[in-house]
Amino acid sequence: MTKHYETLGLKPTATQEEIKKAYGKLSQKFHPDINNGDEYFSEMFKNFREAYEALSDEYQKTDYDIENHINDVTTSADEPKDISPKILNFESDKDSFVEGDTIVLKWNTRNADKIIVKPFGELEISGTRIFKLKNFNKPELLITLKATNSLSKESSTKTIKLKNKVTDFDFSQMEDMSQEFTEEIKVAEGKTDPERETIPYNSFVETAPITNNESHINEEKESFLSVSGRLRRSTYIGRAILLSIPGVFLSIIAEDSYDDSLLGFAGIVLIISGILIFMQFVKRLHDINLSGWWGLINLIPYIGIVFGLIVIFIDGTKGFNLYGPDPKNR
């Protein structure tokens, strides 16, 4: 394997800034475009590029050092080897959230044989996990990584603080949340029994990656001429009745008058009313956490009628869902 540090003229203790600087200087001197594509310079540049790609990424650099025993070589024989656990990286893809959001955690450690990420439990030494928040109503979420080395009996911790964006929620009413979860929040602040290493997944569900258009709650407010937001049962029924009256009234008059132009106008009004009613029906589907595409079931004879009645009378989702806030403000 290419000795990447020697290739770039660096020591194994080189920082990322030093690695980048060394590669920049060598590229300016050996780049094939500067040397008319000379084979020697092309081969040299290829080696520089390979070394830079391996060392410029902190994760790959760590793997390279471990694989080639870099730490063993650079440690003096008279000095004891440092085996204290280190957290090289611990980060989240976001610093704030709303209920239903997913959180992508990434971490990388060294000299650790046990990792506890609270409140999620014991995980692998280094890796990536995706979790979906569920029924979490605290103003802040603290996620703490604890890396432990069983030989040295040492541990290292790092905490990430995420803010709940639901600013209109009265958090003072949430004092009666489960005692078990409250204890785990205290653990993240370093105040509980250190022997407690696992917790139940009351508020966090591990999930697969989701698409961007599903990764956050739609925060648009409901409006009459829009399919965004949610509509409660009573509002939907009231709007559906009011929108039906003009078309039905015109149809009765036109039928008695035998006026073709009036019949055509009544037909246009009925079509517009039907479209507006369907838009309200889509928002009613949103209230029970269903996509508006489910409304196409109404086109199926008999089954559509039954489905429509179910949607009208079923209670909406309590609290936020993927389509916005609860119209009942629960």
Q: What is the pLDDT of residues 172-206, one digit of tens each?
A: 444 444 444 444 444 444 444 444 444 343 445 44
Q: What is the mean pLDDT of the chain?
A: 76
Q: Rounded mean pLDDT of 15-25?
A: 86
CB of 252 within 8 A of CB of 290? no
The residue written with tokens 């078309």 in the block is 247
pLDDT at 69: 67
243 has pLDDT over 80:
yes
pLDDT at 193: 45
Strands of the 102-110 sheet, one edge to the other: 86-92, 102-110, 127-133, 204-206
Question: What confidence category does residue 29 fall into, taking pLDDT thresholds of 50, 70 and 90?
Answer: confident
Most confident of 33-37, 91-95, 100-104, 318-322: 91-95
- Higher pLDDT: 219 or 155? It is 155
Position 186: which residue type? Answer: K
- Please tell me the distance from the alpha carbon of residue 306 to that of residue 248, in angstroms, as a whole number: 23
DSSP state of 263: H
Q: From residue 58, how far is each of 3, 22, 126, 175, 211 by CA, in Å?
A: 17, 16, 13, 43, 28
- CATH 3.30.2350.10 assigned to domain 86-214? The reply is no
Residues whose CB falls within 8 Å of the CB of residue 141, separated by 6 or more in sequence, listed in order: 97, 133, 161, 162, 164
CB of 229 within 8 A of CB of 323? yes
pTM over 0.85: no
Q: Tell me the helices (H) and strands (E) count for the chain, helix number first.
A: 9, 9
Q: Are strands 86-92 and 102-110 parallel, antiparallel or unpaired?
A: antiparallel
- CATH 3.40.1480.10 assigned to domain 4-74? The reply is no
4-74 with 86-214: one CATH topology? no
Q: What 3-state DSSP class applies to 159?
A: strand
Ordered by start, the domain boundaries in the chain are 4-74, 86-214, 233-313
- Rounded to 5 degrees, φ, ψ at 145 are -105, 130
Of residues 55, 72, 43, the one with CA closest to residue 3: 55
